[in-house]
Amino acid sequence: MTGFDFDTIVRTAPYLFKVGLAFTLKLTVLSTAGAIVLGTLLAMMRLSSSRLLSGVAGAYVNLMRALPLILIIFWFYFLVPYIVGWVTQAGRPIAVGGFTSALITFILFEAAYFCEIMRAGIQSIPSGQAGAGYALGLNYWQVMGKIVLPQAFRNMTPLLLTQMIVVFQDTSLVYVLSLTDFLGAANNVAQRDGRLVEMFVFAAVVYFIISYTASRLVKVVERRMAIAR
């Protein structure tokens, strides 16, 4: 056991990527999609003229942003079975599985951050745009869905993608639920084969390459959009 053992990496690569990275990417994409939908609804609530709606959304966002993600993961892992049991009137906790629990947690947590991005996005659209929509007889949902949100999403695409990269990194925390994401898979191999240095260096390199490449792509998207305007 001397020297840097590349062979371990090569041997376990199919497992690391097909099981570990696939899980990480699946969780990242589904969490981001869900969090953008929930975050957009929260942003609409925050900007609503109703004190109640904006108050509830504001409190939710501030609470989520004030707590560490790992704590929320624990909370939901132990709470979600009880909540599902209560909602389905089963009278007992229902096991939901680690992936579902993690997905729900990430959606609820990241929605707070996507909410702030979408709030800025909605506010970046001149109020006259909504006024013109209303003047044509469109209702609130039509004005939002057809006029304000499409423009807000467009303006905010770089920020949304950047936050998605953060989600990608955050998903590694699911190791506390003993889920096999990319880092979890690397850790499994590291413990089993006693190759801690190799596996953690390799994991760091892969996270770096993916995150860095993605953030370069965001820059390209940003520049393209600047030209299109």
Partner 1 sequence: MIEFKNVSKWYGSFQVLKNCSTSVEKGEVVVVCGPSGSGKSTLIKTANGLEPFQEGEIWINGVSVGARDTNLPKLRSQIGMVFQHFELFPHLSVMRNLTLAQVKVLGRKEAEAQRRGRELLERVGLSAHVDKFPGQLSGGQQQRVAIARALAMDPVAMLFDEPTSALDPEMVNEVLDVMVDLAREGMTMMVVTHEMGFARKVADRVVFMDEGAIVEDCLKEEFFGDPEGRSERAKQFLSKILSHS
**DSSP assignment letter at 94:** -
Q: Which is nearer to partner 1, 62 or 129 (CB)?
A: 129
Sequence-distant (≥ 6) Cβ neighbours of residue 126 within 8 angstroms:
none
* CB contact at 8 A, 36 and 114: yes
Instruction: Please give the size of the binding site for partner 1, defined by CB under 8 A.
Output: 19
CB distance 115 to 39 below 8 Å: yes
Q: How far apart are alpha carbons 179 and 167 in whole angstroms?
A: 16
Of residues 134 and 200, the one with the C-beta less far from partner 1: 134
Distance, CA of 3 to CA of 195 (rounded, Å): 10
- What x/- string results for residues 84 through 123 when contact with partner 1 is judged by CB under 8 A? ----------------------------------------
Question: Alpha helix (H) ranges present in the chain?
Answer: 6-15, 22-46, 51-66, 69-87, 98-123, 127-135, 140-142, 149-170, 182-193, 196-228
The answer to whether residue 126 forms part of the interface with partner 1 (CB under 8 A) is: yes
> Is the Cβ of residue 150 or residue 194 nearer to partner 1 in the bound state?
150
Contact string (CB under 8 A) for partner 1, positions 147-176, x = contact = x--xx--x----------------------
Q: Kindly state whether residue 138 participates in binding partner 1, applying the rule CB under 8 A.
A: yes
Q: Which of 17, 74, 99, 134 binds partner 1 (CB under 8 A)?
A: 134
Residue in 11, 146, 216, 224 binding partner 1, rule: CB under 8 A: 146
Residue 137 sits in the site that holds partner 1 (CB under 8 A): yes
Is 139 a binder of partner 1 (CB under 8 A)? yes
Report 7-26 residues binding partner 1 (CB under 8 A). none
Stretch that binds partner 1, among 11-19, 92-100, 134-142, 161-169 (CB under 8 A): 134-142
- Token pair for 78: 């132990």
Instruction: Say if residue 83 is exposed, middle or buried (CB neighbours under 10 Å; 0-12, 13-18, 19+).
Output: middle
Q: Which residues bind partner 1 (CB under 8 A)?
A: 126, 128-129, 131-139, 142, 146-147, 150-151, 154, 229
